[in-house]
Amino acid sequence: MKLIHLYEATEVDLYGRKAVNLAEALQHRLPVPTGYVLSASTVQQFARGELNLVSEIRTMLHSLGAVSVRSSACQEDGEQSSYAGLFQAVEKPTLF
């Protein structure tokens, strides 16, 4: 499965600082919504048509009900920079 639970996002190079910070918050039992994460390489493979995640994403969306989708970047929220607000969040997305 290329889609992992947010709780499992522990590697900044794979999932980005935002996901890793949220995973750490979950591990400390802080109130963070349930979420899933795709690694940067998985997104690249999907974008190039090398990987089909449609049914996996559909299944995940149906299991969650109401969702918000947030795009991000591995370089976002680094120690020396922040790109807050540059990426888009979508409430109640429709799946192609």
Q: What pLDDT, on the 0 to 100 scale, is given for residue 30? A: 94
User: Residue 44 domain-assigned?
Assistant: yes
The total domain count for the chain is 1
Is the distance from CB of 37 to CB of 19 less than 8 angstroms? Answer: yes
Q: What pLDDT, on the 0 to 100 scale, is given for residue 29? A: 94
Q: What pLDDT, on the 0 to 100 scale, is given for residue 24? A: 94
What tokens were used for 74? 């591995």
User: Residue 51 domain-assigned?
Assistant: yes
Q: What pLDDT, on the 0 to 100 scale, is given for residue 54? A: 86
What's at 79, amino acid-wise?
A: E
Range of the domain at 79: 3-91
Q: What pLDDT, on the 0 to 100 scale, is given for residue 73? A: 60
* Per-residue pLDDT tens digits of the chain, which is 96 residues long: 588 999 999 998 888 888 888 999 999 999 988 888 888 889 889 889 998 888 888 888 888 877 777 666 665 555 666 655 555 555 665 655
User: Residue 96 domain-assigned?
Assistant: no
CA distances for 65 relative to 10, 73, 88, angstroms: 25, 25, 20
User: Residue 72 domain-assigned?
Assistant: yes
Listed in order, strand segments (DSSP E) in 1-96 are: 3-5, 36-38, 68-70, 89-91
